[in-house]
Amino acid sequence: MMLLTVISVSAQSGADTATQNISTDSNVEYRLFSTKNMNIFIKLNTKNGQMWLVQWSTKGNESEVALSLVSRVPKEEEKNGRFFLYPTTNIYNFILLDQIDGRVWQVQWSVEPKDRMVVPIL
């Protein structure tokens, strides 16, 4: 009698996993981070953590609007490459990391201003 063992392996599909942006030059002031919305990027000022939503279009409704204009560090502590965004599995949320002191924030973007937020994770 032959015993057959079946092992089931479940892998997450690409839609359920976060896409990682890879930093190749830490000495740049601004970076664009893609979202899972094909028309929206987040522009990050890497030295102070300020962010904007950048919408591109082929129909003439391109725009750039503030997501958060709060500087996360004093002017004298600004440094290119200090801040970086990490995607989550939620289409509207990222984690903002201060790569020098380790502080983190939840960043929620939206086309609706009332639904945008940046809150510290303590």
Tens-place pLDDT, residues 42-65:
999 999 999 999 999 888 888 999
Place of tokens 């129909």: 59
What's this model's pTM, rounded to 2 decimal places?
0.80
| Bridge-based pairing state of the strands 51-55 and 40-45 | antiparallel
- Specify whether the CB–CB gap between 80 and 70 falls below 8 A: no
In whole numbers, what is the pLDDT of the chain averaged over residues? 86
Neighbouring CB atoms inside 10 A of 56's CB total: 12
Q: Which residues of the chain have pLDDT under 70?
A: 1-24
Question: Which pLDDT value is given to residue 34?
Answer: 93
Strands 83-87 and 51-55: unpaired
Find the helix or strand (DSSP H, E) in which 63 lies.
Answer: strand 63-68
